[in-house]
Each structure stands twice: as structure tokens, then as C-alpha cells.
């Protein structure tokens, strides 16, 4: 397969991961990197033997050698660059979340044409545990689905970092806080396992700022959510419940769960009480009660892929990536509704 001729804009923490992966991949020919901080762009280019570096997105997007671009920066500055890239007819990998609101994603869809635009939210669904959980779900062993749940509450560490990133909990820079930073991963993972059959209709939600005693854990002026919870009614009598919090007074508790009439899938995000991370199927067996079976555990081999690998195959095979803009729009509508419900203290309907 012909490697993708790639440029990466953004050489910060997440950008460096993209650069490292692309520089090692036989599916990518990394032609250039770019960052507004010249020293950072130059050092990344030198470290990974990238032939060209730029200090602005326009020079990158005007480079005719480049056919696809990774955008690895906070949402507030990323979306205008995404519009420019689509105007320049570049295929795109967009970091998560795809945008700050649904209208921005709808504009990207209108501009996309026959370009491939991939979102970074399916990192978990591309894993071995995501693939095997999906196969288990597809057997119908869970019966009729009743509840899909994510709960991820993270304890505040003993001390804050010296320089909390200003974008992390900022509506202007990032479109929101913990909800947009992490919950697109949750939604993408659970939507993929359930075959994207969750059709959200009504959302009732609330979010909160970081607690006063933990205010040093976020940048001064942070105005977005450090903790949120949402109750979402979906078609077919399915309920989706979501809760995430960072820098909280609770002990850490993280898990995904899909509950059906006949069985339940548990997908812990991290090892629990010293046990390896695992996907567990509980199913009711007459005469035995609920019986547990391990579908996957940490260290097991299994099918997996990466965002870059899926993207290159999508471009070269003229197919959709794992998470395209239409799927990103479904998740963004949930996000928008959560913020709207919290603002009005009323349930919000999703068309």
C-alpha cells in the first residue's frame, strides 16, 4: 500500500505522539511538522528526522507534497485550521473532540466532498478489548439492552502540577472541560460495541467547576466542567448514563458497562484491586444464577489497530474511517445537549 504523504500541525504533548507513530509507520511518509513555537517544531523535526518544519499552518497547507494533515491542538484553535485544510483539499485526522459544537462539524461535512476526515475518539474501540467486546455483543448473548453506563471519577492527586494547561477546562480554548476531553472516548467505545444503535433523544444533565479546595489543579480563569453527570433516554427503551470527574474528593472508580435482560458486559478502564484489566461477561443461567466469563484480559493477543492505520486504509481504499464526521456529530449533539441541559436545568431533546 502506498504510504500517506503526511504533515502534522501541533508539536505539543499529543502532537509528539502522532509524530512518533508516523515516523515509525510504513504507512506514512512524514514530510513536515508545524508549530507556532519554532523551537518546538525544529526540535521535533530533528528528533524524528522530518525533512521540513513550519511555524504556521498556512505554509504547511500550501505544501503540495502533503496530501493529508493531522491536527493536534486544542479545539478552539484547531477548527479554523480544519476549515482551511478542507479548502486546500487535504485529508484530515482531527484530534478529539472533533469540534466545539455541532454546527462546526456540520460545516466540515458540507466542505468535505470526497476527502477522508477521521476523528481520534475511537482509540479504545480500535483496541483488542474493543473488538472482542463488539464480537461478544453481536452474538446477542446480552438479550435486549436496557442500560449503557460509563462512570469515571478520578481522585485529586496529592499535589497539583506546576503549570496546569490553560485549555483543559476552558470553553473558549477547548469547547468545555472533562466532558469534551474524555467522554468522546467513552461514547465512541460504547457506540462501537453496540453497533451505533444508541439513538439519544432526551438529555438531563448537570456539570460543576472544580472544587474550591482543588482550584490549584486547573489554570487560573478555568470556566468549564471538572465533573458532570448525565441521564440520556435513547430509542428502544435504552438508557445511557454518563459521569466523569477529575480532581475530585472521591476514590478513583472507572468502568464501562452494558446491561441487557440476559447478560452484562463489564469493561473496566483500569486494573481493579490489583487484577489485570479485563472484559467480563456475566450471564444468567437457569439453575446456576449469574455466571461470569472472561472475554479478554490484559496481555491477551487480539485484533487491534491504530488511528493512523485505519485512516490510511480509508484513504487508499476509498472507504469511511472508523469514526467519520457523521458519527462525531452524533456524539457532539449529546455533548451540546449535556451543556444545554445543565445551563437551563431542564431536559433537552435531540432531533
Distance CA 72, CA 64 (A): 20
Distance from the Cα of residue 68 to its chain's centroid: 20
Does 281 lie in the same domain as 133? yes
119 CB-near residues (< 8 Å, 6+ apart): 93, 94, 96, 98, 184, 188, 321, 323, 324, 325, 327, 328
Angle 100-101-102 from CA coordinates, rounded to 5°: 145
Encode pLDDT of 46-58 as tens digits.
999 999 999 999 9
Does 341 lie in the same domain as 279? yes
pLDDT confidence of residue 53? 97
Does 338 lie in the same domain as 191? yes
With the C-alpha atoms ordered 59, 61, 63, 69, is the resulting torsion angle positive or negative? positive
User: What residues of the chain score a pLDDT lower than 70?
Assistant: 271-275
Does 198 lie in the same domain as 248? yes
Does 102 lie in the same domain as 136? no
Does 288 lie in the same domain as 167? yes
Does 342 lie in the same domain as 194? yes
The domain of 62 spans: 4-122+306-324
Of residues 72, 68, 107, 74, the one with CA closest to residue 88? 68
**Axis-axis angle for helices 102-112, 75-87 (nearest 10):** 20
pLDDT confidence of residue 271? 67
**127: which 3 cell numbers?**
483496541
The single residue listed with the C-alpha cell 467519520 is: 324
Does 132 lie in the same domain as 278? yes
Does 117 lie in the same domain as 172? no
User: Which residues on neighbouring strands pair with residue 88, listed in sequence order?
Assistant: none
CATH code assigned at 108: 3.40.50.720
CATH code assigned at 254: 3.30.360.10
**Axis-axis angle for helices 307-317, 13-24 (nearest 10):** 60
Does 254 lie in the same domain as 318? no
| Rg of the chain, C-alpha, whole Å | 21
pLDDT confidence of residue 194? 97
330 CB-near residues (< 8 Å, 6+ apart): 191, 196, 200
Does 89 lie in the same domain as 153? no
Concatenating the DSSP letter of every residue in 79-104 gives HHHHHHHHHTT-EEEEPSSS-SSHHH
Does 318 lie in the same domain as 297? no
- Number of domain units in the chain: 2
Instruction: Calculate the alpha carbon distances from 42 to 98, 129, 148, 336 in Å.
Output: 27, 37, 45, 38
pLDDT confidence of residue 274? 66
110 class by beta-carbon count within 10 Å (0-12 exposed, 13-18 middle, 19+ buried): exposed
151 CB-near residues (< 8 Å, 6+ apart): 241, 243, 244, 253, 254, 255
pLDDT confidence of residue 272? 62
7 CB-near residues (< 8 Å, 6+ apart): 30, 31, 32, 33, 34, 60, 63, 66, 68, 69, 70
pTM over 0.85: yes
φ, ψ of residue 319 to 5 degrees: the values are -130, 175
Amino acid at each position: 500500500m502506498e504510504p500517506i504523504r503526511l504533515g502534522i500541525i501541533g508539536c505539543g504533548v499529543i502532537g509528539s505522539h502522532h509524530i512518533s507513530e508516523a515516523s515509525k509507520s510504513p504507512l506514512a511518509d512524514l514530510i513536515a511538522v508545524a508549530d507556532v513555537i519554532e523551537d518546538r517544531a525544529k526540535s521535533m523535526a530533528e528528533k524524528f528526522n522530518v525533512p521540513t518544519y513550519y511555524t504556521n499552518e498556512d505554509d504547511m497547507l500550501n505544501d503540495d507534497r502533503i496530501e493529508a494533515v493531522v491536527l493536534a491542538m486544542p479545539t478552539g484553535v484547531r477548527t479554523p485550521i480544519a476549515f482551511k485544510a478542507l479548502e486546500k483539499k487535504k485529508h484530515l485526522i482531527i484530534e478529539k473532540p472533533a469540534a466545539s459544537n455541532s454546527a462546526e462539524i456540520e460545516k466540515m461535512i458540507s466542505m468535505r466532498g470526497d476527502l477522508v476526515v477521521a476523528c481520534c475518539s475511537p482509540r479504545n474501540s480500535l483496541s483488542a478489548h474493543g473488538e472482542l467486546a463488539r464480537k461478544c455483543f453481536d452474538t446477542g448473548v446480552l438479550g435486549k439492552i436496557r442500560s449503557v453506563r460509563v462512570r469515571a471519577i478520578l481522585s485529586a492527586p496529592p499535589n497539583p502540577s506546576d503549570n496546569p494547561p490553560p485549555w483543559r477546562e476552558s470553553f473558549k480554548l477547548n469547547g468545555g472541560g472533562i466532558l469534551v476531553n474524555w467522554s468522546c472516548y467513552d461514547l465512541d467505545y460504547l457506540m462501537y460495541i453496540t453497533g451505533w444503535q444508541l439513538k439519544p433523544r432526551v438529555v438531563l444533565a448537570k456539570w460543576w467547576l472544580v472544587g474550591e479546595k482543588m482550584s490549584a489543579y486547573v489554570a487560573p480563569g478555568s470556566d468549564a466542567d471538572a465533573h458532570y453527570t448525565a441521564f440520556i433516554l435513547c430509542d428502544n427503551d435504552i438508557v445511557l448514563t454518563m459521569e466523569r470527574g477529575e480532581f475530585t474528593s472521591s476514590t478513583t472508580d472507572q468502568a464501562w458497562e452494558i446491561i441487557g435482560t440476559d447478560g452484562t458486559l463489564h469493561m473496566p478502564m483500569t486494573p481493579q484491586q490489583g487484577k489485570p484489566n479485563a472484559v467480563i461477561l456475566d450471564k444468567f443461567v437457569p439453575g446456576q444464577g449469574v455466571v461470569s466469563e472472561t472475554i479478554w484480559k490484559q496481555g491477551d493477543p487480539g485484533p487491534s489497530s491504530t488511528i493512523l492505520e485505519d485512516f490510511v486504509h480509508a484513504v487508499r481504499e476509498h472507504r469511511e474511517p472508523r469514526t467519520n464526521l457523521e458519527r462525531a456529530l452524533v456524539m457532539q449533539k449529546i455533548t451540546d445537549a449535556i451543556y444545554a441541559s445543565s445551563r437551563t436545568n431542564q431536559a433537552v431533546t435531540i432531533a
